[in-house]
Amino acid sequence: MAALRRDWLHAPETILLVTLAVLAGAFATTALAARAYHNRRRVLAESWLQQGSADLRDGHSAAALSDLQTALIYARQDVPDDQQQAYSLDLAQALVANHRPDEAHAYLIDLWERAPDSAKLNLELARLAVNTGDDSAAKRYYANAIYGIWDGNAQQIQQKQRDTQLEFCRYLIGRGERTAANSVLVAVAGSLPPDPALHTQVGGMLAEVGANAQALAQFQEALALDRRNHAALVSAGLASFALGDDRAAVRYLGQASRERPQPGQAEALDPAAARDLAVATAVLALDTSQAGLTTPERAMRSVQSYQLAKARLEGCANKLGVSLPKPVAATAGSPGAPATNANPAPDDVPAVYTQALKMQGSAREADLTRDPRLIDSLVKVVGQMEFAASANCGPPVEVEDEALLRIAQRAAAAQP
């Protein structure tokens, strides 16, 4: 029995089986060790990536560059290609932050040649071109990014495309290319989701490029979704003011001014918006051309406007050291001579003042009510005085004078 066992142990078949078992165990051990090794490298790569990304966010660009270079070393052959692209993108950003744009460009171009349709790669190349002042490349890569391939579901892709379009618009606005920016913004505005903040953001950019009517439409969309949206109310008021609709400006800005101040603000309206509200309110109180006014109301407004404009022109002349003609006292009950059709040059303060003095005897409510034709002549002189004061002494300081100048500019623009 013992001899048989010895024979079996020394049999070739037994030796072969034992050898195969040992080899299988060795292979398994090696495979487990290799798997553990590669898993460890992936963990280290991810750890260095997270550290580098955090350093980059915190402004520690040198540390971020070192961390990300280490992450990329561990990532090679142990991280899928799509993840390696993400590592390289972060590394390129770190190179840019360290003022090494040529190296960043080399990294990105190498990636781009392998995936030219990648929207994210094109966006990074666009940003790099912006930093290096290459306008044609920036525009080309922004366009590629907008229409490139994005990761994510349909909603995420739309958001990324929209964010890229808005970033591109900001670049164009910064370069003063308003027409091009407006074209992109109109496309964005046509596909916005029902989000008041987005409508307000796009409206604000449209206002920046001077498209106030389109901007106002976006602010109104925002208010339709949230009627108490403070930013949309203020922006709608400013757009209405820019479009010359003082009544709408007062409505929007007035409502915004009654809201509680926003976080970080002492007042509900900033100084510029508060000034526009005050000017628009003054226009509604002084404009003689508004529909529905009676003749006595128009007469009262024209006299008030005449006195305000005359005082401003006198103050301007005093500032300039210019002598003005003395007014001639009109006989009681006899209106002064009406102004002629001549239009003195705005920079000729004495001539404009002389023209105004000719209407002084008529600048009485009773006379104007009896002869409403004189109201238009008086209002014309008011405009001449405001133009002359502005041409010689700069923009109006008082709200009422700015309102009168606004009324005069509107009347001049309406002339054939």
10-residue averages of pLDDT along the chain (416 residues): 54 61 57 50 57 61 64 56 63 71 79 87 92 94 94 92 96 96 95 95 97 98 95 97 97 92 76 96 96 95 96 94 77 49 74 91 91 93 95 95 96 86
CA quadruple 270, 272, 273, 279: dihedral positive or negative? positive
Sequence-distant (≥ 6) Cβ neighbours of residue 154 within 8 angstroms: none
A 10 A CB-CB count for 132 gives 15
Sequence-distant (≥ 6) Cβ neighbours of residue 32 within 8 angstroms: none
**Structure-token pair, residue 196:** 């008041």
Provide the pLDDT for residue 332: 40
Provide the pLDDT for residue 26: 55
Contact between 320 and 338 under an 8 Å Cβ cutoff? The reply is: no
Q: Which helix (H) or strand (E) holds 313?
A: helix 295-320
A 10 A CB-CB count for 210 gives 13
Distance CA 315, CA 301 (A): 21
Task: Kindly report the pTM of this predicted structure.
Answer: 0.78
Q: How many residues does the chain have?
A: 416
Provide the pLDDT for residue 67: 63
**Structure-token pair, residue 188:** 């964005």
Task: Look up residue 361 and give its DSSP letter.
Answer: G
Going from the C-alpha of 224 to that of each of 199, 227, 232, 377, the distances in angstroms are 11, 6, 10, 44
